[in-house]
Amino acid sequence: MFENNKNIWVYMETEEGKPKAVGFELLAPGRNLADKRGCSLVAVVIGNGVEETAKQAIAYGADQVLLLDAPEYNIYNTDVFGEAMVGLIEKYQPEGILIGATNNGRDLGPCVSCRIKTGLTADCTAIDLDGESGNIAWTRPAFGGNLMATILCPNTRPQMGTVRPGVFKKPVADESRTGEIIREQMKIPENRVELIKRVREVAESVNLDEAEIIVSGGNGVGSAENFSYIKALADILGGAVGASRAAVDNGWISHAHQVGQTGKTVAPKLYIACGISGAIQHIAGMSGSDTIIAVNKDPDAPIFSVADYGIVGDLFEVLPVLTAEFKKIKET
């Protein structure tokens, strides 16, 4: 039925010549799917001055790269990037496409899927092949994160899905890998939306996706002012400030800091959860962290079940001590 559809694609998002980390992360599940299907893993790189990104994609696991490199692709534009992706899809007919669920990816995915009349599964947390049908099995949270749904797209191609940054670990680069880079040119739409002005919001400065250390506060923090304890520890560690949904809903900190099913999915080297009880929705957003430290005065808090190290105590007593000790280490 879909004999002409082959290969798994990973869209490597770039902006102003710089790649987003999620593209490299998606090469891991993409490689797994391609190996199981016995096909090639193809990275799609669209940007300006991004040939180095194409070479990196091969080192991180791609067999082939479709490269569109032109000034028109320097800044994301729905019309321009949508036209480019649709043109590539019509020419090469991939079997499946993985896209990062960034702000731009969440715009590009539906735009493309609508134009080529195929399905799109959003915010996936797991990707594999369905053993019975051979379709891609896209798993995502449903009903507020209380259950997981696995979705198949058996009747149309390509099968498409978006995946949150931080869900998958970036594979180890192998600089000895070789692959083919195919330079493409696509028609730039004449009647397209033109960008007049870009305004950087506070949300853009909160880079939880790529932070190696995150210190998060929850309901136990008690107030917006008390987030100064969280920020002080994050600052001394060179990390980012995160938060649970409860802290955000209470208005103590902006949604840009939220970690969990309805916030960011993160996988830092170190995650410190302070005053966070550990609801399943929050744990789902940070359980991929390399090391988890929990600070909570309730010894039975669910967060301790996923923590590598736990401190039972009042965060207002514990955090100043931790901050002071890390400061001493930093100064020596």
Q: Tokens at residue 80, please? A: 């321009």
Answer whether 185's CB lies under 8 Å from 83's CB: no
Cis before residue 158, ω within 30 degrees of 0?
yes
Q: Looking at the predicted structure, is the pLDDT value of residue 61 above 90?
A: yes
pLDDT at 142 over 90: no
Average pLDDT over all residues of the chain: 93
H helix or E strand, kind and range, residue 122: strand 120-124
Query: How is residue 264 annotated by DSSP?
Result: B
Over residues 26-45, the pLDDT tens digits come to: 999 999 999 999 999 999 99
What's the pTM value of the predicted model, to 2 decimals?
0.80
Write phi, then psi, for 194 (nearest 5 degrees).
-105, 135
CA 233 to chain centre: 25
By C-alpha distance, which of 315, 266, 309, 313 is closest to 291?
A: 309
pLDDT digit string (tens) for 172-228? 999 999 999 999 999 888 777 777 887 765 555 678 888 999 999 999 999 999 999
- Amino acid 2: pLDDT: 84
**Tokens 């649970």 found at:** 244
Mind listing the pLDDT tens digit for each residue in 2-15? Answer: 888 999 999 999 99
Residue 115: predicted pLDDT: 96
Q: Which two tokens stand for residue 286?
A: 């940070």
- Structural domains of the chain ordered from first start: 8-183 (3.40.50.620), 203-331 (3.40.50.1220)
205: which DSSP letter? G
Alpha-carbon dihedral 13, 19, 23, 25, rounded to 10 degrees? -160
More confident site: 194 or 314: 314
Q: What is the pLDDT at residue 238?
A: 94
Instruction: Say yes or no to pLDDT of 145 above 70.
Output: no
1 pLDDT higher than 80: no
Sign of CA pseudo-dihedral 250, 252, 254, 259:
negative
pLDDT at 267 over 70: yes
* Share of residues in the chain with pLDDT > 90 (%): 80
Q: What's residue 225's pLDDT? A: 97
